[in-house]
Structure 1
Amino acid sequence: MSRVKDEHLVTIKEKENESVPALRRAVRILDLVGSQQTPPNAAEIARLLDLPRSSTHGLIGVMTELGLLESAAGHASGYRLGPRLLDWAAHVSSRQDLIGAFHHIVGTHPELAPYTVSLSTLDGDEVVYLASRASEKGLGVHYSVGLHLPAVYTATGKAQLSAMDRAAFREWLTLYPLATWPPAPTPHSTITPEEVMEEIRIAQKDGYAIDDGQIHLGVWCFAAAVYDSSGNTVAGLGISQPKPANADEMRDRIGHLTTSVAASLSARLGYRGA
């Protein structure tokens, strides 16, 4: 019975692979065009990749329309990589710059040793974690790279939302109204959407946001927005630890540390302030 099931799964996988031949051909075309010193024309691309001429011409036409390829002037219908790929490359490069700057800043701030330090970016109604450095004392929590969490319950998410101007935040709320927000991940957290909105308002005033056990029970996290050279909010930097007994005394101290480190990261990215 297990063998029949495995064979069935293999068949499904093969059908899934066969359902996107155009995408696979497009990637092969991009690889080929990028490797050629002289821009190849459609006929040469079809011949070199052993593809049907008619479908290759159609696919190249769509790829050119989408900016993945462009006609190379001075060569008979030759093609080179298009400008849209440069846009994608710029996004990848800027994210790598951000992650590299994060690790540099964390490494130059020894006062961060007791804390887990994380970096996330806003992705719709969630945050996705780009980097994390666990506490050197083995305390707190680690945020895996690629982890997605509801933005409205994370300190890094609330920090980024608080950094939006009013028009952008209203637009975000239109896309993700309070009634659609999921419950907090921790079962004992009873925070309401209205209370989260108040936390975002306070974060606008204080310059940092707080997650007080909304993601992990007994753990609080402070976060501040990170800006690039153009003044755009690109991430939230978070500092986490188990909530201490003297929380009231520590609140302002950790808040100021968070905003200071986030400011250092923003400065390294070229931000010079409003």
Structure 2
Amino acid sequence: MGGTRENESVPALRRAVRILDLVGDREVPPNAGEIARLLDLPRSSVHGLVAVMTELGLLEQTGGHGSGYRPGPRLLDWAAHVSSPRDLLGAFHHLVGACPELGNYTVSLGALDGDEVVYLASRASERGLGVHYNVGLKLPAIYTATGKIQLAAMTPSALREWISLYPLATWPAPLTARCPVTPDEVLKEIHQAAELGYALDDEQIHAGVWCFAAPVRDSRGMTVAGLGLSQPKPAHEECDPQKLARLAVSSAAELSALLGYRRRDKEVGV
């Protein structure tokens, strides 16, 4: 076959993907014979594959016997459940532009990447408070509010697996004196975040700065990021932390709604 040997594991699946790629790129839907010729595949194999793929809705025949094939309706069903990074960023910028109440805070969007959070977007406070997260910045997930809330959204088994992949010995040194330093302290903060529906970075990344974060969910209900609101921590009691926590939760919920998420079960809030 074309001078290259297919991986002998699940070769039919690999061929099916090649067929989907081909029919998706062709302006004129190719028939089974043309697919076999263009992909240098056995005709008998292609006829069997396209028949099953048509039965499953992955392909759609354009006419009668011998006619061409195009991508099937089942692919559209799957695509409807996928939120691309562009969707997420577009929704984020729409949110911060449409909510004047967020102007007093630095608003950040961070996604879990292994044991770190990578910042996908950030809008600095309109009040020039000097708190900002550059796009592409990576910080330890265990110290950031956006990281902790995504860990809190994991199932117990997934969290145990995460901890086994990134044990204490691999954790970075605390960034400030306010960082938790033992696994028990980290787990306590994560469990509190799960109960409350938001996470707090209380001067753990920047001295004098706190951040409240809530989970961002896509149309499938999967947590895809954390939305954080940051500001210099007030020296006195003029700021109500619960008010900022509620704003973080409501803003993350609005961003999730923009991604197609619809609340299904009772969720913990503030």
- TM-score normalised by the shorter chain: which range applies? 0.5 to 0.7
Unaligned runs of 5+ in 2: 1-20, 31-39, 41-60, 62-69
Shift of 1:273: 4.4
1:266 aligned residue: 256
Q: Is 2:226 aligned against 1:233?
A: no
2:245 aligned residue: 255
**Number of residue pairs aligned between Structure 1 and Structure 2:** 241
Residue identity opposite 1:221 in structure 2: C
SS in 2 for 1:113: helix
2:96 aligned residue: 106
Residue identity opposite 1:229 in structure 2: S
The C-alpha deviation readout for 1:64-106, integer Å capped at 9, x for no partner, is xxxxxxxxx9xxxxxx99xxx99x9889852222222222222
CA distance in 2, matches of 1:198, 1:133: 30
CA distance in 2, matches of 1:93, 1:230: 9
Q: Is 2:160 aligned against 1:197?
A: no
2:109 counterpart (100, 113, 119): 119
Answer whether contact 1:231 1:273 (CA < 8 A) is retained. no
1:154-233 paired onto structure 2 within 5 Å? 154-184=144-174, 186=175, 188-189=177-178, 191-194=180-183, 195-233=185-223
Distance 1:90 1:127, change over 3 A: farther
2:86 aligned residue: 96
Distance 1:229 1:247, change over 3 A: farther
CA distance in 2, matches of 1:248, 1:191: 26
Answer whether contact 1:210 1:223 (CA < 8 A) is retained. yes
1:76 aligned residue: none
Unaligned runs of 5+ in 1: 1-29, 40-52, 54-72, 74-79
Distance 1:109 1:178, change over 3 A: same
Answer whether contact 1:229 1:271 (CA < 8 A) is retained. no
Shift of 1:34: 3.6
CA distance in 2, matches of 1:143, 1:114: 18
- How many percent of aligned residue pairs carry the same amino acid? 57
Q: Which has the higher helix share?
A: 1
Answer whether contact 1:208 1:224 (CA < 8 A) is retained. yes
Provide the aligned C-alpha RMSD in A. 4.3
CA distance in 1, matches of 2:179, 2:112: 24
Structure-2-length-normalised TM-score: 0.66
Distance 1:140 1:202, change over 3 A: same
The C-alpha deviation readout for 1:188-245, integer Å capped at 9, x for no partner, is 4553133222211211122111112222222111101111222211111000111111
Structure-1-length-normalised TM-score: 0.66
2:64 aligned residue: none
Shift of 1:35: 6.6
Distance 1:91 1:266, change over 3 A: closer
1:246 aligned residue: 236
